[in-house]
A = this chain, B = another copy of it.
């Protein structure tokens, strides 16, 4: 924990420092004492900065409830990076009895041309919801909704729209004349997602985001201020590395592991991962590896559920040349196969219950299609 842990991320911490300064954020480590039982992502500083999370804690300590809004753009399957973020959200729910809202922004993916039709997004929306709910969210205080399917959302968006201007939106999103007018309106809809618990229940909100997304939060905070709402707080995460060392992306399937990847695929993908190893056994023995520059080690920290003590052993063995990349890859593969096997079991158990989490009717035809797909993987994965 602490600074030494921080440096194990592939990105240089100085870049993060620059962003923290540029955006005027605070380091989470400065209020760490106030956070009981921190999630591993917080302890390991994968989530490392914040804006007004101390205010949220102040309110909570006075008995006030709050809400977490954590959106998902449903243009693809869920991968480990997403699961990580939503496990932090679940931790907040458990630790603070927080009301969780999960907007599934089919509109966003459509207006920015990440999907061909809204119907395509709907499949991923429900599939993603099942993956997220499988982390163990509480039905009564967890609310999913598809952006185009929750009736009051458009009304809220219209209401908020008067509290910002085109030039503000343009400065953040950088539109051109070819831009779809829906893409100009979407940032307002996103603000409505974020402010929904405040509008509907008067709850203050915290939003977990990747640090580069902070400008979007600031737009919503400006709108909230003009409406005398609590300005949404944020928790900022570092960029998650894909298996190739570049930012993880669902659109480059070989860099991420999806919850429906079969064991063979998981094995193959991890085997190709970028490591901090020396390339040959002899060199590794002689010079030791560099876990601070190793995706496999980063993934052990982020996704394997290994204890801090276990991580320390792996780290030291690698450094001293007593551990080779093949061993790490095999162990990580085994860990992830175990995690995803259990995960898919839980996902399957939710098939007939997922509608209870939604703020609107759920299309059971799509849910059944997802169940069919899931059954095939479960069979496959158990082989």
A residues adjacent to B (C-beta < 8 A)? 107, 110-111, 113, 118, 148-149, 151, 153-155, 157-159, 161-162, 164-167, 169-170, 175-185, 187-188
Q: Is the CB of A181 within 8 A of B184?
A: yes
Residues of B within 8 A of A179 (CB): 165-166
Q: Is the CB of B162 within 8 A of A154?
A: no
Q: Is the CB of B184 within 8 A of A166?
A: yes
Q: How far is it, in angstroms, between the C-alpha of A151 and the C-alpha of B184 when the chains are bound?
A: 21
Q: Is the CB of B180 within 8 A of A164?
A: yes
Which residue of B has the minimal Cβ distance to A169? B181
Query: When the two chains form the complex, which single residue of B118, B151, B176 contacts A159, counting CB atoms closer than 8 Å?
Result: B118
Residue in A113, A176, A181 whose Cβ sees the most chain B Cβ within 10 Å: A181
Residues of B within 8 A of A170 (CB): 177
Pairs A–B under 8 Å by Cβ, sample size 18: A107-B155, A110-B159, A118-B155, A148-B155, A149-B155, A154-B154, A157-B182, A161-B181, A161-B183, A165-B179, A165-B181, A166-B176, A166-B177, A166-B179, A169-B181, A181-B188, A184-B184, A184-B185
Q: Is the CB of A158 within 8 A of B107?
A: yes
Query: When the two chains form the complex, which single residue of B110, B158, B175, B183 contacts A182, counting CB atoms closer than 8 Å?
Result: B158
Q: How far is the CB of A115 from chain B (nearest CB, A)?
A: 11
Q: How far is the CB of A205 from chain B (nearest CB, A)?
A: 21
Q: Is the CB of A178 within 8 A of B167?
A: yes
Q: How far is the CB of A151 from chain B (nearest CB, A)?
A: 4
Per CB-CB distance, the 10 closest pairs between chain A and chain B, nearest first, are A161-B182, A185-B185, A167-B177, A154-B154, A148-B155, A151-B151, A166-B179, A107-B158, A161-B180, A184-B184
Prevailing SS type, chain A contact patch: helix
Query: When the two chains form the complex, which single residue of B153, B166, B177 contacts A154, counting CB atoms closer than 8 Å?
Result: B153
Residues of B within 8 A of A153 (CB): 154
Residues of B within 8 A of A149 (CB): 151, 155
Known: A110-B162, A154-B154, A166-B181. 4 other contacts (CB 8 A): A107-B154, A107-B158, A166-B178, A181-B188
Q: Is the CB of A162 within 8 A of B180?
A: yes
Residues of B within 8 A of A161 (CB): 111, 180-183, 185
Q: How far is it, in angstroms, between the C-alpha of A113 and the C-alpha of B158 when the chains are bound?
A: 11
Residues of B within 8 A of A185 (CB): 161, 181-182, 184-185
Residues of B within 8 A of A158 (CB): 107, 110-111, 118, 148, 182
Which residue of B has the minimal Cβ distance to A171? B177
Q: How far is it, in angstroms, between the C-alpha of A118 and the C-alpha of B157 when the chains are bound?
A: 12
Q: How far is the CB of A136 from chain B (nearest CB, A)?
A: 31
Q: How far is it, in angstroms, between the C-alpha of A118 and the C-alpha of B176 when the chains are bound?
A: 31
Q: How far is the CB of A157 from chain B (nearest CB, A)?
A: 7
Which residue of B has the minimal Cβ distance to A157? B182
From known contacts A110-B158, A155-B149, A158-B148, infer whether A175 and B180 are also in contact, taking CB-CB under 8 Å: no
Residues of B within 8 A of A111 (CB): 158, 161-162
Q: How far is it, in angstroms, between the C-alpha of A158 and the C-alpha of B117 when the chains are bound?
A: 10
